[in-house]
Every structure is written in C-alpha cells, then in structure tokens.
Amino acid sequence: MKIAISGKGGVGKTTIMALLAHKLKEAGKEVLIVDADPSPHMAQTIGVHDVGAIVPIAEMKNMLVERSGKTPGSPFYNINPRVDDLLARYMVEKDGIRLMVLGAIQEGEGGCACAENTVLKRLLTKLLLAPSQFVLLDMEAGVEHLGRGTVAGVDQLLVVVIPSKSSLRTALRIKKLAQDVRLKKVSFVGNLVVDDEDRRFLTEGLGEEPLAFFPDNPALRKNERDGQAIDRVADLMAEATDTLLKRLLE
C-alpha cells in the first residue's frame, strides 16, 4: 500500500507519518518512507544518525538531468527514464525502517524543471509492492504537489488538520484538488486535539469525521526539541496510531 500525507505547514504530518511507520514495523510490515518535502526532516524524526550526510535526490541535478536524457538547449527529454538502481542506491535504514530522501525540485530561472521532476515521479511509480510492504510519502506542505501530480498512484492520501480555521481551509482545498486529479481515497486525520470541542470543530468543519484524532501532548514537542527519535514517545500516541492503522486497513 502507498500512503501519502499532506496538510498545512506545521500541523504535524511528519510526526504522524513517523508514528504510523513505527506501528507498521511493530506489526511486521516492511516500511519505506519517502521524504518528498522541500525541507526534509523525517531522518531526524525516526532517529537516523549522521543526517547531514544525506543528500536529497532532488538536489542531484546533474544525475537527474542525465537520467532524463535531456540535452542542453533541447526541450525534449525521456518521459520513461531508468530509475530502478536509484531505489537501492539512495536508501538508508534505521531500526528496520527504510528511508529515501527525495526532496523537491524547485523552479529555477528557466521556469519548470520538468525533466528532473519526471525522474522523481518515475521513481515513485516504480515502487511496486507486495502485500506486506508499505510506502509512506511525506509530501510538502500545502497544495502545490497536487498540481504537479507527484501523488499519482497512491492508494490513500491523508490530510492532517488541526483545530484552526486556516488549517481547515487548507485541508478542504487539498481534498478538492486531490479529487480533481482522481485520487480515489482522501481522508482527514486530526492532530493537536485537546477535547471534545476540538473534535466537533474538526468534524463539522470538514463535513466528515477524521479517521483518527491525535491528542496534543507536550512530551512530543519536548522530544522533538531534544532531537530524540519518535519511537521514544510512540507509546503516548499508541491509541490514536492504532485507530488510524485499523481504519486504513479496513
């Protein structure tokens, strides 16, 4: 199963994705996280050592241009580039969870970096899975990635939303754009929820109940500030994570 996660910046999507990865690993599943955020920090969240040595694939411009087959001055490039070897070459592993840091191609002076993005999209679509395998895509905040089609081929898009009007607006916009690009399953996940009033606010504002509600917990914030891996505090969110995983597998 391929699961992507998105939401307004700062809503905690990376934390929730890391908690889900930890729970899947405990259940005996093979887990690959693809960090496709322009400012990736999943490596720190799951406790990878020597984070500074990881270079996002999106920053390897020469390699991406070479794989795309694009020649200087030409508008043409290969729309089906070879990427099979990249899947193994650029993975790191931490306690049984594999991580690939994709990053995101930024538009330069010449406008759209279409050839390079084609390589990254091809990389995602080549992740063929067995029933015991899960690919978790930590997408960039906001809605821009939906316009570029980088979530094509995922089985489920999770949109993280916190009890605020701005987060609600972004979440609803993400869902609409996801439906426009024909993603079949788009669901919400509540985060930083304090009480029943927060739950009602989210459910009424979204027009549906989120798959799970993750509570606001100061211990998680302290854990992140201290630079500790998420598995140290995963038990604090076990109930919400169990509920989310159960709903995803139904």
Alpha carbons 97 and 53: distance in angstroms, whole number: 18
* DSSP H or E run through 3: strand 2-7
**H or E stretch at 226:** none
Tokens 């895509």 locate to 137
Summarize the confidence of residues 194-215 as an average pLDDT. Answer: 98
What residue type is 150 in one-letter code?
T
Tokens of 40: 């990736």
Integer Cα distance of 175 and 146 in angstroms? 10
Higher-confidence position of 249 and 194 = 194
In order, the DSSP letters of 57-90 are GGG-HHHHHHHHT--TT-S---SS---HHHHHHT
| Residues whose CB falls within 8 Å of the CB of residue 118, separated by 6 or more in sequence, listed in order | 68, 77, 78, 79, 81
The pLDDT of residue 207 is: 97
pLDDT in tens, 208-235: 999 999 999 999 999 988 989 999 999 9
pLDDT at 26: 92
pLDDT for 219:
94
86-110 burial, b at 16+ Cβ within 10 Å, e below that, comes to: beeebebebeebbbbbbbbbeeeee
What is the total count of domains within the chain?
1
Cα gap 181→177, rounded to integer Å: 6
pLDDT average, residue stretch 112-133: 66
Identify the pLDDT of residue 109: 38
Q: What is the largest CA-CA distance in the chain?
A: 59
Q: Is 111 left (phi over 0), alpha (psi -120 to 50) or beta?
A: left
pLDDT at 193 over 80: yes
pLDDT at 52: 78
Q: Residue 93 belongs to a domain with what CATH number? A: 3.40.50.300
**Mean pLDDT, range 34-38, rounded to an integer:** 81
Q: How confident is the model at residue 140 (pLDDT cuts 50, 70, 90)?
A: confident
pLDDT at position 108, please? Answer: 41
How do 97-101 and 91-94 pair as beta strands?
antiparallel
Lowest mean per-residue pLDDT among 20-34, 100-114, 197-211? 100-114
Say if residues 14 and 136 touch (Cβ distance below 8 Å): no
* Residue-averaged pLDDT of the chain: 84
Residue ranges making up the domain that contains 130:
2-249
Q: What share of the chain is helix, strand, coil (3-state, %, to 5)?
A: 45, 20, 35
Q: How many residues does the chain have?
A: 250
pLDDT tens for 79-107 read 667 777 777 777 888 989 999 887 765 55
pLDDT above 60: residue 38: yes
